[in-house]
Structure 1
Amino acid sequence: MRYGVNIALLSIALAGLGLGLGLRFAGQDSAAPVGYWVGVLPVLAALMVEIARSIRRGEVGLDIVAALSMTAALAFGEALAAAVVAVMYSGGTFLEAFAEGRARREMRALLSRVPRTATRHRNGALEEVPLDDIAPGDRLLIRRGDVAPVDGTLGSDTALLDQSALTGESMPVRRDRGDEVMSGATNAGEMFDLCASRPARESTYAGIVRLVEDAQRSKASMSRLADRFSLLFLAATLFLAGLAWWGAGDPIRAVAVLVVATPCPLILAVPVTWAAGLSRAAHFGVLIKGARPLESLAGIATLVLDKTGTLTGGTPRIVTIESFGGMAEDDLLHHAAALDQASKHPVAQAIVAAAQERGLPLPAPEDVVDSPGEGVSGTVAGRSVSIGGTAYVTRRLTQAPDSPPAPPAVGTAVVAVAVDGRLAGRLVMADTLRSGTAQFLANIRRLGIPRIVLATGDRREVAREITEGLALDAVHAELTPDRKVLLILTERTRGPVMMVGDGVNDAPALAAADVGVAMGARGAAASAEAADVVLLVDDLHRLVPGLEIARGCRRIALQSVAAGLGLSVAGMIAAALGYLTPVQGALLQEAIDVAVILNALRALWITPSTAPAPAPS
């Protein structure tokens, strides 16, 4: 039933009950049932329509028990009991709709934040354009309070961004010129320019919105299990009601049993719990595509991790600076980074970033000659500098080095630097482990996942080097995408498998796993589409609160179902033995329903024991 219809039916049911009770207290006992009937009939009619729709869909639920209880109560002169059931049933459906709406508040807020237009620089002026008109390379103006409409890079010196709707971070983050800006982030500081890097339809925020819409349409397997059990519970209810009628020779006993069984907490508690859990996980930057993967997260037995871009940062970083001929490390990095400002190569950008982190001044290079795939030469502060591969730099030396440098270690790459014709040093680059990886694995173990496996397409010796000292149960290297899928299927024999990856080559394995998790901020679109869960920032630590929330939701759902059904069965037995009248039974059961819905809402406030690590800033 629609939300507005729920409100209308609850209002009618309350008005009918109030009218009947008012006539009764006024001494018009014979007229009081008319008021009860006025409140019951519209609710019963709407309920019958819902039952018919459910049967056409092939679903049989416990709404039938509610319809039978109201019909039987009216038929046997228990109009007050029927009115109470009508009020409590319409109130229960209203509360369920309200609870689910409250649980999806963050998701609705995410959808409502989608900007429709953007302000673009064009020919020295500003113009307001639809998002579909934005193309890569366009320069956009983002005013204070505006939401970044597309992914891009910062075209101004600095920006202060509020990413709370995307990542759950409570504090704004600072971005510097050239840094990536995620669509959906709100400008919390002065206005800045954003250089669009992709169309709006391909932006991070548009993808998130599509995933949210998919999540809202999903239905958990546990909810389907509730639907199957509803038929069994319906049969048991009818049997006990018939037995009570036959044993006591009093149809009122059967009516009392029916009203106690209306409706079942199994139907109410589970959907509300999962809806609340999806909302809570989104608050921590974990976007789960539906209730089924949220439920599956609670029972994972094996975690399979990709290496590049998942266990590691996916971009090269300087791990060692080797200086020759007495040049200081900072001087060597200063010359290399200053020249690399003229290159767009990822390694060059990493070198520039390392110099900026150290606060080194970087003058503009002159007379730059870029040899794609080899290196760069030019002048920095009057000195001739060459940077690139060893062969490229060696050809530009005017003085041979005193001794040949040692070969690079496994899993590293060497960038040679020459200054004024002499080999000045080397920058040793590597794709390093993410910060706190060991602690992340320890947290996963603490959550009860007994097996953690690495699966990578990289060389075996590189995989061994990067994972040395980590608490992994197995390391599988040199895997093609189909072999990753085979590994997932093999690990599944031990129990449900979760796969975490970020690349296009991970997409088949993510789809094959019981739960696929994609690194959403920088990962490939194919992996995000194939995955069940998307981490909105490239931070593995975000997965830990997601797992804790999933387990908390399962615990809350099972508690609600067990307590609700247990109390219902006890009430049905008491009614069958004559200890509860129909009115008392109706009040008891609806109190149980309200209690389990409120208990299910506790999922909105699940607090992970391990706070998520802050997003990179």
Structure 2
Amino acid sequence: MEAPRRTVSRVLWDLRHDALPVLTLGGLIAGGVAWFAGARGAADVVWTVVTAVALIPAVWAVVEGLRRRSIGSDVIAVLALAGTLATAEYLAGAVIGVMLTGGQALESRAGRRAQRDLGALLSLAPRVAHREDAGGVTTVDVAEVRPGDRLQVRAGEVVPVDGRIEAGPAVLDESTLTGEPLPVERHTGEEARGGTVNAGGPFPLRATTDASSSAYAGVVKLAREAAAETSPFVRLADRYAGLFLPLTLVLAGVAWAVSRDPVRAVAVLVVATPCPLILAAPIAYVSGLSRCARRGVVVKGGGALERLARARVLLFDKTGTVTTGRPELFDVVTRDGVDAGEVLAAAASLDQVSPHVLATAIVRGARDRELPLVLPTEVAEKAGQGVRGLVGGRPVAVGKAGWADAGDADAAWLDRVRSRAAARGAITVFVGIDGRLAGTLLLRDRIRPDAARTFQMLRHTGIDRTVMVTGDREAVARPIADLVGADEVHADQTPAEKVAVVRAESEHAATVMAGDGVNDAPALASAGVGVALGARGATASSEAADVVITVDRLERLAESLAIARRTQRIARQSVLGGMGLSLAAMVVAAFGLLTPAIGAVTQEVIDLAAILGALRALGPGRDRWPRLHGDDADLVRDLDQEHRGLWPRIDALPALADALTGPDAAAREAADAELTSFLHDLAEHEGRDERLLYPAVASALGGSDPTGAMSRAHAEIADLSRRIDLLRKELREDPGRADTPAELRRVIGDLAAVLRLHFTQEEEHYFVLADIPSHSEGHTA
């Protein structure tokens, strides 16, 4: 009997939410045409049919609710529809039928929760493996792989199952499982997990599991289980119906008992028909969904928006969420006075032909610094070690320290460089020129420029607790968590451990989980609301999430939360306001002052008021975040590009100071010319900020002087620039003066520190006001 019951439910659901609104509205209009044409009998028949058509699925819904031990707002509608038929108030019944089916159609659109589709996650799963046997290497279905099989994993392929590397090294992209963007090197005897990508050369693998037991299969299973455990969306209307329904029945019963006229009871039921309940909340939520969509945020249904409004705890991944999710060059450390630009240009020229993710970052860093690059020749690359070739006829090597030098590396220097990199959460890439180790490139995953501001906005919108849950190391995760103000950090987390943390937090408060990788999909599915940053994130996380941010702006998370809270507030206000008006009309009808037909019209006026109130969710609230638009946004884009050009020159100031006060006359002259150019460009940039950007920001922010502190920073920058010019003049006039070089180095260092802070503040607080992708690579750490 269960299967037929589900079939009937499915058919009635489709009719109720797709066809019935059109049928009932058409019937109401047709009956009206017949009535005005004088065929009142035919009109009554048509309206009776409309009432019955609306009544049948409503009765079924009530029966289904009773079977689940739930009584909702549909009960009042059923009683009203049946009452109009019993008392021959056919027009009133038809009007109620139209509003009931129309409201249910809107509710279906707003409240039908998106089914969590794991298709994208499954599409990433390995499908074939290359197995060695007596006849050579055979391509087989991954399901045929058994523990103990020896496999060949080719370059660029997904590792089919968990296994041990038989001959290393193997360079693996493990971002699908850990979220960490940097490839890792695994050596002979170490484990390679299924679902990771071979980012280096081919290597042999000894399978230790089959496909169904691999790490990647575990991620898929976790996502399925977490999705199955998530509670369904409960209609806001039904929660209020628990109070409204008994009050309506009591008032209708009293009116009938006192007057002995069943029409009065029907009139009470007609004006009590919970169309404000049925209409107001769905319309508000549809409006909120539309508002989010205009901000580049896709929310999968009114249920997700309602749960988002209740959230009090935010859990978030690090890589790709609060950071950009890709490595970037931030420093060049050289040996024996070698020019940093020369080292970077040589490495980037060689890396132009390498597909490695770090090579891409190095080339991008050189181009940001406008360094000239040449095409290399005789290039050879070894997975897990590095790349070698000729750049301008000179031998250059980029990669590990042992690969980049010919054995002349200073161990103490190497230790200092590695310590500096570890302290700053960076990865090292060594560069050798002419057979000698010339320098080291430091790369790291930078924090998004809008991260700090986003977390401030989240606190403002009602998030009480923030928790970082990441697969990255504690030493790397902790400083970033402290910078954004996280209350707790869970580092070195596997996908299963992330789910456990989310479930533990969900026991105490409503949760939101934000992430962008495949490894985040189970945690996103298990949280109250999963939010995926889908602009560059994995498709699987977007499919597992309830909310997908389609633009590369973290602050949209805070905006979505604010929109959800405002939408919920408007929905509640509209429902309660409509219920209050309905209650007043019920009292009037109980005294016999409203007939059912007039009551139905009155109810439509109440419905209109509730709808207009709910539509307020389409617009921004009074507490909306300030924005820059039009020409002001274009201005921010231009100034952001100037920041991109100035950042590398700011980073180079300490080295410039050393060269300016060093013994090499040619280096001093070149450094002096570069410093003169930099200070000129800086002054022009700061002048444009003061004349153009700050007035626009002040207008957007409001208040008496919202940019006063930043203008004060401009004054400090100008003062430091003047002091540098005076010290340079002193050095030229009296080269033998002992204290001038040290003072000049100190003041240049002060300028670099002030500029780093000032530029970071502008990017985090001003550039993010424009609805454009600002310096998304960021420069804060």
Residue of structure 1 in register with 2:54 after alignment: 47
Separation of aligned partners in 1, 2:462 and 2:231: 26
Residue in structure 2 matched with residue 361 of structure 1 by the alignment: 372
Asked whether the 8 Å contact 1:96–1:272 carries over to 2, the reply is no
Identity %: 43
The alpha-carbon deviation at position 61 of structure 1 amounts to 5.2
Deviation at 1:52, TM superposition (A): 4.0
Letter in 2 for 1:477: A
TM-score (norm 1): 0.71
CA distance in 2, matches of 1:347, 1:355: 13
For 1:560-579, list aligned pairs within 5 A: 560-579=574-593
1:600 pairs, out of 614, 627, 634, with: 614
Q: How far did 1:379 drift? A: 0.9
Check the 8 A contact 1:432/1:466 in 2, yes or no.
no
Match in the other structure for 1:138: none
**Matches of 1:597 and 1:338, distance apart in 2:** 63
Residues 455 and 263 from structure 1, CA distance in 2 versus in 1: closer, same or farther, beyond 3 angstroms? closer
Q: Which residue of 1 aligns with 2:252?
A: 241
Match of residue 87, structure 1, among 92, 95, 104: 95
CA deviations on 1:575-607 (whole Å, 9 max, x unpaired) are 112333333322111211232233323333346
State the alpha-carbon separation in 2 of the partners of residues 48 and 259 from structure 1: 14
SS at match of 1:316: strand
Query: Comparing both chains, which one has the higher relative contact order based on Cα–Cα distances under 8 Å and sequence gaps of 6 or more?
Result: 1
Q: Distance in 2 between matches of 1:87 and 1:448?
A: 42
Unmatched runs of 5 consecutive residues or more in structure 1: 24-30, 108-214
**Matched residue of 2:268: which SS?**
helix
Post-superposition shift, 1:287?
Answer: 2.5
**1:315 corresponds to 2:329:** no
| Distance in 1 of aligned mates of 2:44 and 2:20 | 19
Counterpart Cα distance in 2 of 1:96 and 1:604: 20
- What is the 5 A alignment of 1:121-520? 221-223=233-235, 226-227=237-238, 230=241, 233-395=244-406, 406-408=416-418, 409=420, 410=422, 411-520=425-534
The one-letter code sitting in structure 1 at the alignment partner of 2:258 is G
Deviation of the 1:248 alpha carbon: 2.3
SS in 2 for 1:298: helix
Structure-1 separation of matches of 2:79 and 2:477: 65
Question: Cα–Cα, structure 1 residues 35 and 261, in superposed 2: closer, same or farther, change >3 Å?
Answer: farther
CA drift of 1:89 comes to 4.0
The answer to whether the aligner puts 1:551 opposite 2:565 as a matched pair is yes
* Cα distance in 2 for residues equivalent to 1:229 and 1:468: 43
Distance 1:258 1:422 in 2: 91
| Alpha-carbon distance between aligned partners in 1 of 2:625 and 2:327, rounded to the nearest angstrom | 33
Post-superposition offset of 1:382? 1.9
TM-score (norm 2): 0.57
Q: CA–CA distance in 2 between the matches of 1:352 and 1:7?
A: 60
Consecutive unaligned residues in structure 2, runs of 5 or more: 1-15, 115-226, 628-767
What is the letter of the counterpart of residue 614 of structure 1? Answer: I
1:130-182: per-residue Cα shift (whole Å, max 9, x none)?
xxxxxxxxxxxxxxxxxxxxxxxxxxxxxxxxxxxxxxxxxxxxxxxxxxxxx
Q: Deviations over 1:543-580 (max 9, x none)?
A: 12211221122112101110111111111112112333
1:305/1:455 contact within 8 Å kept: yes
What displacement does 1:55 show? 4.2
User: Per-residue deviation at 1:36?
Assistant: 4.7
Is the 2:390–2:396 contact (alpha carbons within 8 Å) kept by the matching residues of 1?
yes
**What is the Cα deviation at residue 351 of structure 1?**
0.3
Q: Using the alignment, how far apart are the partners of 1:516 and 1:344 within structure 2?
A: 33
Shift of 1:373: 0.9
Match of 1:527 among 541, 561, 564: 541
> How far off is 1:427 after superposition?
1.0
Q: Which amino acid aligns with 2:98?
A: S
1:307 aligns to what SS in structure 2?
A: coil
Shift of 1:260: 0.9
Q: Secondary structure at the match of 1:242?
A: helix
**3-state SS, counterpart of residue 280 of structure 2:** helix
Name the structure with the higher helix share: 2
Q: Contact (CA 8 Å) 1:341, 1:349: kept in 2 or not?
A: yes
Cα 1:383–1:452, aligned 2, differ >3 Å: closer, same or farther? same
Q: Over residues 45-86 of structure 1, what are the superposed CA-to-partner deviations in whole Å (9 max), with x where a residue is unaligned? A: 212322244245446655554454455446546x4xx41452
Please give the alpha-carbon distance, in whole angstroms, between the structure 1 residues aligned to 2:576 and 2:550: 35
Name the residue aligned to 1:142: none
One-letter amino acid of the structure 2 residue matched with residue 221 of structure 1: F
Change (3 A) 1:602 1:403: closer
